[in-house]
Amino acid sequence: MPEDLSSPLSPPRVVDLTTGLWPAMVEKFLLEMPAEDRQSFGAGPALVAEFASGRLGRFSGIVDPAKAALAGIVGGWVLDSEAEIHLLYVRREDRRRGLGRRLLASYLSDLDQQGVAASYLEVRESNRAARFLYYSLGFTVEGVRKAYYQNPKEDGVVMVRKTVREPVRDVATS
């Protein structure tokens, strides 16, 4: 039986945005973003096209059943055993509810299952809330991109999360 997205009793759920009718919902979500956020994330027609293409991109969202709408999205590119996360955004009115953590943790778990060994992202140096979230999910600082951001000019902190896997044991020699 399909889940009723309009039921306020249902918890928010993470969905794959790269299939079905989701790209239209993502386009609406991106158009409703405040202009400064949309500009900051480069959230326009090219990003929607990447969502819809399913080429290298992998995108997920978190649906708020009480509003029957996306509350946040995460996405990036996967190539071989590395991922680069380009976007993690939760609507302003839905922040501080743990949705970003749940969304990113689910996304990283999916990357782990795909065999991704390292996930990279960059974040404004001043974005302490995001950096705390990333640290808490296993990211460490890899480097700094000087004056990477404009308006205002600011350094970008490059972070990486390396997936730790148990070594494969040869049963015959154990």
Q: How many domains does the chain have?
A: 2
The answer on 159 and 88 residing in a single domain is: no
For residue 61, tell me if it sits in a domain: yes
**In terms of residue numbers, what domain contains 18?**
1-114
pLDDT tens readout for residues 13-63: 888 877 666 777 777 787 888 877 777 766 666 766 666 666 667 888 998
Sorting pLDDT into bands at 50, 70 and 90, what band is 166? low
Give the CATH number of the domain where residue 53 resides: 3.40.630.30
For residue 172, tell me if it sits in a domain: no
Segments in the chain forming alpha helices (H): 22-32, 35-41, 45-53, 99-113, 128-136
Catalytic residue among 89, 107, 120, 122: 122
User: Which of 9-13, 46-50, 70-74 has the lowest average pLDDT?
Assistant: 46-50
Percentage of the chain lying above the pLDDT 70 cut: 76
Report pTM.
0.80
Phi-psi region of 147 (alpha: psi -120 to 50; beta: other; left: phi over 0): left
The span from the CA of 57 to the CA of 135, in Å, is 24
Give the CATH number of the domain where residue 121 resides: 3.30.70
3 included as an active-site residue: no
The answer on 86 and 124 residing in a single domain is: no
Block residue for tokens 């960059």: 122
**Average pLDDT rounded to a whole number, residues 92-117:** 91
The answer on 89 and 134 residing in a single domain is: no
The answer on 5 and 58 residing in a single domain is: yes
Catalytic residue among 36, 82, 134, 135: 134
Nearest C-alpha neighbor of 120 from the set 85, 74, 148, 88: 85
Nearest C-alpha neighbor of 72 from the set 106, 95, 52, 39: 95
122 included as an active-site residue: yes
The answer on 146 and 76 residing in a single domain is: no
